[in-house]
Amino acid sequence: MMQYYRVTSHTRFDSKYHLIWITKYRKRILTGEIGLRTRDIIRQICERFGVDIIRGNVSPDHVHIFVSISPHYSVSKIVQNIKGRSSRLLQQEFPQIRREYWGRHFWGIGFFCVTSGNVTDEMIMQYIEEQGNQQDDEIFQVNP
């Protein structure tokens, strides 16, 4: 349905991702003021990059967000910005974090990412197969 697609000047898209990342050592530090500030920082960074937050949750030792990201940005670049900027700001604003996390690493390495959408793999393959009826597209088939 077209009304659900996001639009930029040259792109129409519906790219949604469920992202999860953890605190270093899974320390349960994202509570109270720190948890609230983490949520606000993530909102600000996402707004700056035009990322729509569909749903989110800051748990004591990890963050879940369900977002829509423009194809102009890679998912890893968005997560890198969120984790990097939030780490720096949180450590500046809450000195007790620096005592917990020596070495200035607040977030654990890496993140989890899964896509979401209304179209299954089977639907895409069927659509591509139907489009190829005019020409022989065997060049693109990995396993004929």
Span 6-58, pLDDT tens digits: 888 889 888 999 999 999 999 999 999 999 999 999 999 999 999 999 999 99
For residue 106, is pLDDT > 80?
yes
Tally of residues, the chain: 144
Asked whether the whole model's pTM tops 0.85, one would answer no
Instruction: Pick the more confident residue, 135 or 104.
Output: 104
More confident residue, 144 or 70: 70
pLDDT at 78 over 80: yes
Backbone angles phi, psi at 43, to 5 degrees: -60, -45
Alpha-carbon distance 105 to 88, whole Å?
Answer: 9
The percentage of residues in the chain with a pLDDT greater than 90, rounded to a whole number, is 64
Report CA-CA distances (Å) from 93 to 33, 90, 129.
Answer: 10, 5, 55
Segments in 17-135 forming alpha helices (H): 32-48, 75-93, 95-100, 121-131
Q: Token digits for 144?
A: 């004929």
Residue 23 DSSP symbol? B
